[in-house]
Amino acid sequence: RPLCQRKEMKIIGAALQEPTTVTCEVDAFPPPDTFEWTLNNSAGSIKVDPDRFTVEGKEGKSLLTYTPVSDVDYGTLSCRATNLAGQQVTPCVYTLLPATRPDPPTNCTVYNLTHDSMDLMCLPGKCIFY
């Protein structure tokens, strides 16, 4: 039966209205025929529509393009593969958390100014992830 390549849960930051790709990779022989994705959130457990993900069976992976549209769209994504030996017992698990864009850079200074170029040095903006 298929097994997750990564044993630990992965945390993924995703911004509202922005597509995020989640990759589920398994070790399996024979290679998996199908994958199933499930979202567990405050509304319960929801199977993800197969139109939202691709399956690359020979490589043993599935890519889900997921776009959160509201706060309810965050939670835990689980992926299970199935091959001729059966369905994966323990799913691959991904925690989907809200992410925000970083603040713009600050304290920018221009140096090495010429007639056709310049160098700019700035302090990075704060990146908030929760």
What confidence score (pLDDT) does residue 118 get?
93
Position 37 pLDDT exceeds 90: yes
Spatial CB neighbours of 81, under 8 Å, sequence gap ≥ 6: 2, 24, 26, 28, 32, 34, 35, 60, 62, 87, 88
More confident residue, 103 or 116: 116
Residue 110 near residue 120 (C-beta atoms within 8 A)? yes
Q: Residue 127: what pLDDT?
A: 67
Sketch out the chain's domains with CATH numbers.
3-100 (2.60.40.10)
pTM: 0.75
Question: How far is residue 102's CA from residue 129's CA, in Å, rounded to a whole number?
Answer: 9
For residue 96, which amino acid is it? Answer: L
What gap in Å lies between CA 91 and CA 87, rounded to an integer? 9
Token pair 């044993």 in the structure block, residue: 7
Q: In whole numbers, what is the pLDDT of the chain averaged over residues?
A: 91
Query: What percent of the chain clears pLDDT 90, i.e. is strictly above it?
Result: 71
Residue pLDDT, tens place only, 53-74: 988 878 899 999 999 999 889 9
Radius of gyration of the chain (CA): 20
pLDDT tens digits, one per residue of 60-110: 999 999 999 998 899 999 999 999 999 999 999 999 999 877 788 999 999
The mean pLDDT value for 7-31 works out to 93
pLDDT for the residue numbered 130: 47
Q: Which two tokens stand for residue 16?
A: 């509202």
